[in-house]
Amino acid sequence: MPVSRIPRRTSVLIAFIIGTVVASGFATPVTANYYQFYTSLAHIQLSLIDLQLRNITQYVEVKGFFTVMNPTDYKGFTLTIFRGTYEIDKDNITISASQSLPPPAFITTPLTKNVPVRVVVPFNSTNTGLKNIQVVFVIELVLSTFLDPFGPVIGTYSCQGTGGPGSCFLVAASVRGFSPGQGGGGHGGV
């Protein structure tokens, strides 16, 4: 049967089927990526790869070397702010209670699969000597995602070290924004 003899209704149906198949081909990877969001957020890795402590006469110079990495296939995380607090403990006694780290590092770097983003956090603290000292960090990673209109996505981590590599673990992941009907929010409205 020549193409010119196919009824018009059948031609439209065939065109509709082809269009649906093509649209599904484009939508499937995006949808699959979307469904990986929450599990991927829980797998973002913050590592304290090195903690350098240097005793200066009147203070302790501290440098924390961190990496942030997305080990998942999810595409869409951008690290925008690295901020936090620290405390210094000596012999299991807090000698420098929760202090803010220097102003947050504004990074705006995409978190590509298995590519570490390096952040260095230097600060000074009261001289306590270096023996039996431990630095405890609470770090917030502010991520830009498709949820930006509702507020930032923030991963909160606890890290600790005594010099050299330390350990970090995820404490919480949240979307901080406003709820409809509560007004404000500062995001320009919807």
Render pLDDT for 126-179 as a digit per residue (tens, 0 to 9): 777 778 889 999 999 999 888 777 778 899 999 999 999 999 999 998 877 644
Q: List, for residues 13-38, the tens digit of each pLDDT value.
A: 777 777 666 666 655 555 656 778 88
Do 82 and 22 reside in the same domain of the chain? no
Do 22 and 108 reside in the same domain of the chain? no
- The burial class, CB within 10 Å (0-12 / 13-18 / 19+), for 186 is exposed
Do 101 and 123 reside in the same domain of the chain? yes
Do 53 and 18 reside in the same domain of the chain? no
Share of the chain above pLDDT 70, in %: 81
What gap in Å lies between CA 185 and CA 180, rounded to an integer?
9
Do 129 and 88 reside in the same domain of the chain? yes
pLDDT at 185: 39
pLDDT at 179: 42
Indicate the pTM of the whole model: 0.75
Do 9 and 78 reside in the same domain of the chain? no
Do 12 and 54 reside in the same domain of the chain? no
Our count of domains for the chain comes to: 2
Domain with 75 in it: 43-175
